Structure 1
Amino acid sequence: MKLTQRMNELIRACFAGIWIESHEHLDAIAELSAMCRDEDWRLAVWDIDQGLRHPNGSAIDVEVADPLAAVRAIGSLAAGDAPVLLVLQNFHRFIGSAEIVQAISRAVGDGKQQRAFIVVLSPVVQLPVELEKLFVVVEHPLPDRQQLCEMAAGIATEPGEMPDGRELDAVLDAAAGLSRYEAENAFSLSLVRSGRLTPDAIWELKTQAVKASGLLTLHRGGQTFDSLGGLESLKAFTRRSLLQRHRDAGQPRARGVMLLSPPGCGKSEFCKCVGNEVGRPVLTLDVGSLMGSLVGQSEERTRQALAIVDAMAPCVLMIDEVEKAFAGVGAGGNDSGVSSRMFGTFLSWLNDHTSDVFVVCTANDVQRLPPEFSRAERFDGVFFVDLPDREQKDQIWRLYLDRYGLDVDTAKPDDDQWTGAEIKSCCRLAALLDVSLIQAAENVVPIAVTSSESVSRLRQWADGRCLSADHAGVYRMATKTSRRRSVSTKPSVN
């Protein structure tokens, strides 16, 4: 719902205290001003720099010396039966004093009779306990595709500057998730560079904007499924579910996949490849970066990150090693339940979000995940990525021998129970140290040896419970007599 629609409803219902969460104050004020003109309502704006004024910048003949006087001015602005809105910009900076809290409380209480509305416009919601029940919070949404298209048309006015068809879709996909100010800058930069709107300049600014938020990172590498050996069933499942886009209303959308495996089997590489394979940006959510020092800040940053993800749809959201990300859930830790609340927020979004976001979560230890995380309808499938077999290893050897400029016919070491990461490490060390693959392998200790118990336990759990990433159908643990057995150095006890 647009900001003006939501505000119109609240004002007609006489909500005298409204908090608008927005980073785009000029646009929010412009929308409120247009709404007040259409409804014949009065609007005044206050900030610490320019004081009390009309939206057009002209001063109001009311003496306002400080934030407390600004709140008290609402009484003198109210006149007649027409509603009056007093917009207080960045007023969260001044609500720390008892006098201002009391003045706001009285103004909101009187506002119902006077039809005078206190509207706080701020990028964050910081309500003291005395005002929590008096204010309703409204989010100023980021521009949707239609609004971005209108902005682009307003900037690209010369012939040939505005693309159409699939080129326009690519531009709008690149601009999704940007604020109005950021989108205007991106469109202008694209025109300066290329003479028309193209996605490249927009992606550049978008990457910087996402990085500046400190909540997400945007991956735009060149990897595709061709650079990833094995995982044929997982590749086919993902490609089929994402490339057959259902854009008609009411049609199902792909939700995502959960990947379980021992470390080094290609889960993270798959996440990086899937974006280029299906033409979507890959966002990485680092749950640790969401943690804040203030009460409620972590939960708020989680909601903010998920809002950015929704706005950037269609996209791929990657959460690597999710069992570590929410390690405090249900563990009785000393974080006052912050991890549990963050996890609950993410679970609710995972189940209820309607945006076209394909979620890929990876985990190495399934026992640390609560059972409700992987239940049906949160993911399209839970896949187990086992250690590569002989055919897959040969593909991986060819990939990394070619990448590091090594002879494909050179003798290879015994790679029993090796993962793709260990093959990559062997090739990289051979190129780095200028030694043979067999010599480089002396520096590689497989995870199947160092953590043989956990790998075996994970395989046993996945047997019959997960889909196979390599072959169609349910994963079944192979009974290979050739598996490497760890040799115990502990002396036997008679």
Structure 2
Amino acid sequence: MIQRNASIQQFKDAFAGGYPVIAVETWEEDITLNMLRAFFNSIFNKKGEFFTFDLQSGLLNSAENNTAPLNPLEALDKISVLTCPGIFVFKDLAGKITDPEIQRRIKNIHHNFRGSNRFLVLLSSNFLLPPEIRREVYVIRHALPEAHEIESIIDDYLEALKKRGIANELSAEDKNQAVISLKGFTGAEIKYALSKICWGKKVIDAGIIPLLHDEKDQMARKDGVLEYVRNSDSINEIGGLENLKEWLIKRKSLFTPEAAKAGIRPPRGLLMMGISGCGKSLSVKAISALWGLPLFRLDMNKVYSGSFGTPEGTFDRAIKNIEAVAPAILWIDEIEGGISSNTAKDGGTGSHIFSAFLTWMQEKSSDIFVAATANRIDLLPAEIIRKGRFDQVFFIDLPNDTEREEIFKVHLKRRNNKLDDFDIPLLSVATEFWNGAEIEHVVEAATIEAFSRGEKLMQDDLYTIIRGTVPLSRTMAEQIKFIKNWASERAVSASRSDK
């Protein structure tokens, strides 16, 4: 049986405290039930009663193996009059917890069971307790498999494969990456993922790691508001932004056990603000690739839509789910619009989520790195950018001369062009005050034009597109000037000055 040290201690505390009604949030009913049976055997020495209830089997006495009512009201009535010590485990009540008749019976059981060594235990993946019974119910969250448990499951699986003649060539670092990839899954889901990915292979090697990362997509789909972002964007594909890249490289190893032993905590987060099209989103993806951590994007539009429950409840659930897969990166795009203290349009919902986010950022103990981006930086509340929330606030400006050269090189090489065929410094001069997205557009559009003629890309093709493009710096000159002035005293430049 999988052992969860944190969960075991919570159970011990709850039973020792004599709480009559205990709600256990768990994704693994069978493991939680086995753990409760073990407690029953140790606490009652098999002299009490152990009942279970679900809507299919009804009320079952494990000792006598007989069943009683399928109706939860009748089942609760039956256990409430029993005088023998015991544990009574009820599944399937979470959806009925708002029923006044269910609430009344829980209140009565709480009163009747006090000091009698009788415990009503409710099991569900999620409890939203109504105010009427919040004081009567003690809530425990049964943790998902911890790192050492995941490693044990992987080892057992690899040992089983070895007996079938399938070689294991995973290094220690590969196995560590596999463990990170499988954080947030139940024990059963881990086994399913390993079986799916390793099926038909003759050798198990580092090639399974990206496939395990992709299993996160399943988790994100089920959540609804979290999107798992697959990416292969290397930090080397970012033109310029040397200060930002240096900051990221220095923190590459801070999520490792070695860093923890040295007393170094992982970074909390990074806020990148600045002009649209200058590489903020690309930089977020590069963090994931550089650090080897899964990347999830939080869709705040879906949070506010109400399609997944109340916005506050949906946001809270998303935070719990991202914490379950730690270490990971949480991407909040255009944070000024998604998480704001502005309550004019939503009657206070935005303010509640804003407060919850600030509190979580300040107090979170999980290894979740928040990568936030912002375009309208003047809309950012002061509370967001103060120290203690994000480790650093970077301003991403329009690329300088050297950075524009680097951006041209990245996009020309990506399309299999020889850099010696182009005068890149002249291209940089011709695109002064252009952003990275506009430079990418120039290369892409010129490549299409050359391909349509059946010719290779030439310098003149690029000039043709440049002459026909009006950059953002011209159409939004006043706004860009304002952004630069605003950020000059509030953020660190992501770029280094031209030499």
TM-score band w.r.t. shorter chain: 0.7 to 0.9
Of residues 41, 47, 50, the one that matches 2:54 is 47
| Displacement of 1:130 | 1.9
Change in Cα spacing, 1:191 to 1:16, as seen in structure 2 (3 Å) is: same
Q: Which amino acid is the alignment partner of residue 43 of structure 2?
A: E
Change in Cα spacing, 1:390 to 1:184, as seen in structure 2 (3 Å) is: same
Partner of 1:484: none
| Displacement of 1:267 | 0.6
Alignment of 1:162-311 (within 5 A): 163=170, 165-194=172-201, 196=204, 198-243=208-253, 245=256, 246-248=259-261, 250-291=263-304, 293=306, 297-311=310-324
CA–CA distance in structure 2, aligned partners of residues 419 and 139 of structure 1: 48
Partner of 2:101: 99
| Displacement of 1:405 | 4.9
Q: Deviations over 1:200-244 (max 9, x none)?
A: 442232322223222322223211111110001110111102235
Query: Would you say the 8 A contact 1:227–1:399 is kept in 2?
Result: yes
Partner of 1:324: 337
Partner of 1:27: 31
Alignment of 1:452-471 (within 5 A): 452-471=477-496
CA–CA distance in structure 2, aligned partners of residues 13 and 128 of structure 1: 23
CA–CA distance in structure 1, aligned partners of residues 210 and 422 of structure 2: 41
Alignment of 1:403-418 (within 5 A): 403-405=414-416, 408=419, 409=421, 412=427, 414-418=430-434
Change in Cα spacing, 1:268 to 1:141, as seen in structure 2 (3 Å) is: same
CA–CA distance in structure 2, aligned partners of residues 438 and 175 of structure 1: 49
Q: Which amino acid is the alignment partner of residue 194 of structure 1?
A: K
Structure 1 stretches of at least 4 aligned residues deviating more than 6 Å after TM superposition: none
Instruction: Indicate the structure with greater helix content.
Output: 2
| Displacement of 1:377 | 2.1
Q: Deviations over 1:286-308 (max 9, x none)?
A: 22233363897322322322223
Partner of 2:437: 421
| Displacement of 1:406 | 5.7
Stretch of structure 1 that moved more, 256-265 or 147-156: 147-156
CA–CA distance in structure 2, aligned partners of residues 73 and 156 of structure 1: 48
Partner of 1:59: 65
Partner of 1:482: none
Query: Would you say the 8 A contact 2:49–2:61 is kept in 1?
Result: no
Of residues 130, 133, 136, the one that matches 2:132 is 130
Change in Cα spacing, 1:453 to 1:185, as seen in structure 2 (3 Å) is: same
Query: Would you say the 8 A contact 1:290–1:298 is kept in 2?
Result: yes
Change in Cα spacing, 1:97 to 1:312, as seen in structure 2 (3 Å) is: closer
Query: Would you say the 8 A contact 2:147–2:183 is kept in 1?
Result: yes
| Displacement of 1:393 | 0.6
Q: Deviations over 1:6-37 (max 9, x none)?
A: 12212221222222222222222122222222
Query: Would you say the 8 A contact 1:22–1:123 is kept in 2?
Result: yes
| Displacement of 1:194 | 3.0
| Structure 1 unaligned spans of 5+ | 473-477, 479-494
CA–CA distance in structure 1, aligned partners of residues 102 and 368 of structure 2: 43
Q: Deviations over 1:354-397 (max 9, x none)?
A: 22332221111222111111111222211111100111111111
Of residues 5, 8, 14, the one that matches 1:4 is 8
Partner of 2:448: 432
Q: Which amino acid is the alignment partner of residue 338 of structure 1?
A: T
CA–CA distance in structure 2, aligned partners of residues 153 and 407 of structure 1: 47
Provide TM-score, normalisation by structure 2.
0.86
| Displacement of 1:100 | 2.2
CA–CA distance in structure 2, aligned partners of residues 393 and 294 of structure 1: 43
Change in Cα spacing, 1:49 to 1:380, as seen in structure 2 (3 Å) is: same
Change in Cα spacing, 1:384 to 1:169, as seen in structure 2 (3 Å) is: same
Of residues 73, 77, 81, the one that matches 1:72 is 77
Q: Deviations over 1:272-293 (max 9, x none)?
A: 1121122222222222233363
| Displacement of 1:334 | 4.1
Partner of 2:122: 120
Query: Would you say the 8 A contact 1:222–1:276 is kept in 2?
Result: yes
Matched, 1:451 2:476: yes
| Displacement of 1:400 | 1.5
| Displacement of 1:66 | 0.6
Matched, 1:17 2:21: yes
Change in Cα spacing, 1:177 to 1:95, as seen in structure 2 (3 Å) is: closer
CA–CA distance in structure 2, aligned partners of residues 164 and 265 of structure 1: 38
Query: Would you say the 8 A contact 1:78–1:115 is kept in 2?
Result: no
Q: Deviations over 1:91-135 (max 9, x none)?
A: 122234332222222112212143322222122223233212221
Change in Cα spacing, 1:354 to 1:223, as seen in structure 2 (3 Å) is: same
Partner of 1:87: 89
Match of 2:430, SS? coil
Query: How many pairs align?
Result: 466
Stretch of structure 1 that moved more, 90-99 or 374-383: 90-99
User: RMSD of the TM alignment (CA)?
Assistant: 2.7
Match of 1:44, SS? strand
Change in Cα spacing, 1:420 to 1:201, as seen in structure 2 (3 Å) is: closer
| Structure 2 unaligned spans of 5+ | 453-460
Q: Deviations over 1:433-490 (max 9, x none)?
A: 4482233335533221222222111100111331111128xxxxx9xxxxxxxxxxxx
Match of 1:470, SS? coil
Provide TM-score, normalisation by structure 1.
0.86
| Displacement of 1:249 | 6.2
| Displacement of 1:45 | 1.3
| Displacement of 1:46 | 0.6
Matched, 1:314 2:324: no
Matched, 1:372 2:383: yes
Query: Would you say the 8 A contact 1:174–1:199 is kept in 2?
Result: yes
CA–CA distance in structure 2, aligned partners of residues 24 and 94 of structure 1: 20
CA–CA distance in structure 1, aligned partners of residues 78 and 34 of structure 2: 22
Query: Would you say the 8 A contact 2:243–2:493 is kept in 1?
Result: yes
CA–CA distance in structure 2, aligned partners of residues 91 and 447 of structure 1: 57
Change in Cα spacing, 1:72 to 1:200, as seen in structure 2 (3 Å) is: same
Query: Would you say the 8 A contact 2:56–2:70 is kept in 1?
Result: no
Query: Would you say the 8 A contact 2:343–2:351 is kept in 1?
Result: no
